[in-house]
Amino acid sequence: MKDIDMLFVHPSTHCLSLGSRVTDLVTFVTMPIGTIALADLLERNGYSTKIFHTGIEQMYNRDFQVEDLFKKCDPRVVGIDLHWFVHSYDAIRIARIAKEQSNAHVVLGGFTASYFAEEILSSFDEVDSVIRGDAEVPLLELMKNLKNERLSNVPNLTYRRDGSLEVSEMSYIAGEDDLRQLNYTNFKLLSNYDKYHRAISQSGDLDPYAWKVNVKRQAWVPLGRGCTVNCSYCGGGSMAHYGLTGRGRPVFHPTEQVVQTLSKFEEEGIDATYMDFDPFPDRGYFRKLFEEIRKEKVDISTEFALWSLSDRGFIRDFADTFNPLYSTLVMSPESGSEEVRRKNKGFYFGNEELFRWLRDARREMVSLEVYFASGLCWETEENFDETINLAKSILDDYPVVTISCGALVMEPGSPRFKEPEKFGIKLKFGTFADYYKHFMGLAMGLPTETQLGYDTIWQSERQIVENSIRFEKMIGTGQPSRWLSLLDGEDVLMFKKLPFHS
């Protein structure tokens, strides 16, 4: 058995189905992007580390048990990411195993852990501490101070001492210089990293018997932290960031660092990146970044999630910069109703502006992913029809590679979680225990009391789920109507009129 200073474990979410065929689906596969950078930071400071993604391990070895990790190594510290609430049950389950199998100090981090730090430590003895907010310096300090038990020296830490909870000052907020130091490309620290890059994609689940097959390797690119707006449903908005990390305004990774990361990705055979950090609609940062990527001739595709509409210049810049094979722009109008969109989204745009943007994307020959949501505040069954109608017209007339509508699950720390009455929400998820129980039910194949964690005063949870099912039936698997006519030979494409004929 090998002694190791820190073992990072990513808790994949399980969804057990006890139907005619029992399936244990591993879902929400993507690991927080910072895990590799944290492990690399520790390595560079003399601590030995290793990262295991439990879903990937299980995917390639169906007999894999988390316990096996502790037969291979004896860690001083076990770090479990609990950024997204979907990992609430598995994070605690793994913490329990770590405690049973080793003498390691178990630390959690990430937004969900930060938000519920005190509840987690009060309820689950298997967790020793939670790092709140940015974790780089706190984790290094934890490694230094653990031996002499001076945890009060560790910033951003909530921990247990003599049976009571201690909360250290939130004094570390990563700035540009801190981000500059981080290396997100030390993939060798992650067990089966090549398989991980194959497995992550927007389509989600890990299933060795899947009928859909991924043919690209993808990695997420760190661009920055923070936000400038507060969408009603999002637990990562401006106020949430301020509350969880103390960050008042977004911070970017230096462009030269991002270009280096992309070059390394290309060298490692990564085909496509996912970029999802777009807090300023002027996008000056991206003009500079894209120019540098072109200058360095980095050949990679990118799936870019736009948080607001862009001008045509940005779309052209995007098309000129990235390999077109797997490059897409991602747009989430969320609702077809302008009123609902205005009341929920931080970056508002009208339908007319949206169609202007879609026309620009079509002219620049950029593929599009379009996402809607059901369960928005002020959404009714009637105005949800506007969502279906808008989606249909987008599917029919624009180069859409995927269009879908997911029912929103209640995110901890989002405006509507914190002020439910203001947003017409009747909460069913209010505590960490609620999330834990819900995902435990899914993992064990038990019926769960709630799927989304809320009703709205306009619609019941059931109606919200039915809306998204109705959307998928009508739009999600459909083809543009004109394309079907072209295939049937009932319609033909017209040639553009030559100038001398007009």
Partner 1 sequence: MSDYKVHFLLPARLYKLAPFVYVGPDFRSLPLGVISDIMTHRGKQLQRLYPLTVAQVRQDGSQTDLLFCFTFCYINDDDKRVVFLTPPIKLKETGTSGALGMLLAEVEKLATFIQSSTIEIEQHEKLNDSISFPTSLSFLSYVMSSVKYQILDQKLYETFGYRKREEVSFFECEISDYSHGAQDTSDKYDVKNISPKELMEYKERSGGFSAKSFSLSQTDDALKPSVIPYFEDTVHTAWKRSWLRFQKSSAEGYMRWTPDLLEIDTPFPLLFFHSLEEMWFTRGSIFDWGLRDRDRELFNSLLSYAVCEMNKRGIQTVQFAYVGKGEEFVKDCLVDRGFKETHRLSLLRKEVG
Binding site for partner 1 (CB under 8 A): 188, 194, 198, 201-203, 211-218, 266, 268-269, 271-272, 299-301, 323-328, 362-363, 365, 367, 369, 397-402, 479, 482-483, 486-490, 492-496, 498
CA 237, distance to chain mean position in Å, is: 13
Say how far apart CA 453 and CA 410 lie, in whole Å: 6
Closer residue to partner 1, CB minimum distance, 320 or 421: 320
For 156-179, b/e burial (b = at least 16 CB within 10 A) is bbbbbeeeeeeebebebbbeeeeb
For 230-250, b/e burial (b = at least 16 CB within 10 A) is bbbbbbbbbebbebbbbbeeb
How near is the Cβ of 300 to partner 1 at its closest, in Å?
A: 6
Closer residue to partner 1, CB minimum distance, 166 or 397: 397
Say how far apart CA 340 and CA 381 lie, in whole Å: 12
How near is the Cβ of 188 to partner 1 at its closest, in Å?
A: 8
Tokens representing residue 495 in the block: 């040639």
Say how far apart CA 273 and CA 281 lie, in whole Å: 21
Closer residue to partner 1, CB minimum distance, 211 or 447: 211
Closer residue to partner 1, CB minimum distance, 178 or 207: 207
How near is the Cβ of 485 to partner 1 at its closest, in Å?
A: 10
How near is the Cβ of 194 to partner 1 at its closest, in Å?
A: 7
How near is the Cβ of 197 to partner 1 at its closest, in Å?
A: 10
Closer residue to partner 1, CB minimum distance, 18 or 486: 486
Closer residue to partner 1, CB minimum distance, 322 or 435: 322
Closer residue to partner 1, CB minimum distance, 27 or 230: 27
CA-wise closest residue to 270 among 208, 320, 233, 219: 219
Closer residue to partner 1, CB minimum distance, 188 or 342: 188
Where does residue 401 rank: exposed (0-12), middle (13-18), buried (19+ CB within 10 A)?
A: exposed
How near is the Cβ of 325 to partner 1 at its closest, in Å?
A: 5
Q: Are strands 73-81 and 2-10 parallel, antiparallel or unpaired?
A: parallel
Closer residue to partner 1, CB minimum distance, 180 or 188: 188
CB contact set of 412 (below 8 Å; sequence gap of 6+): 85, 111, 112, 115, 116, 235, 429, 432, 435
CB contact set of 78 (below 8 Å; sequence gap of 6+): 6, 7, 8, 9, 94, 95, 98, 102, 104, 105, 106, 107
Say how far apart CA 279 and CA 228 lie, in whole Å: 6
How near is the Cβ of 330 to partner 1 at its closest, in Å?
A: 11
How near is the Cβ of 190 to partner 1 at its closest, in Å?
A: 12
Q: Is 414 helix (H, G, I), strand (E, B) or coil?
A: coil
CA distances from 259 to 26, 175, 220, 253 (A): 32, 19, 13, 10
How near is the Cβ of 136 to partner 1 at its closest, in Å?
A: 27
How near is the Cβ of 271 to partner 1 at its closest, in Å?
A: 4
Say how far apart CA 323 and CA 305 lie, in whole Å: 16
Closer residue to partner 1, CB minimum distance, 134 or 360: 360
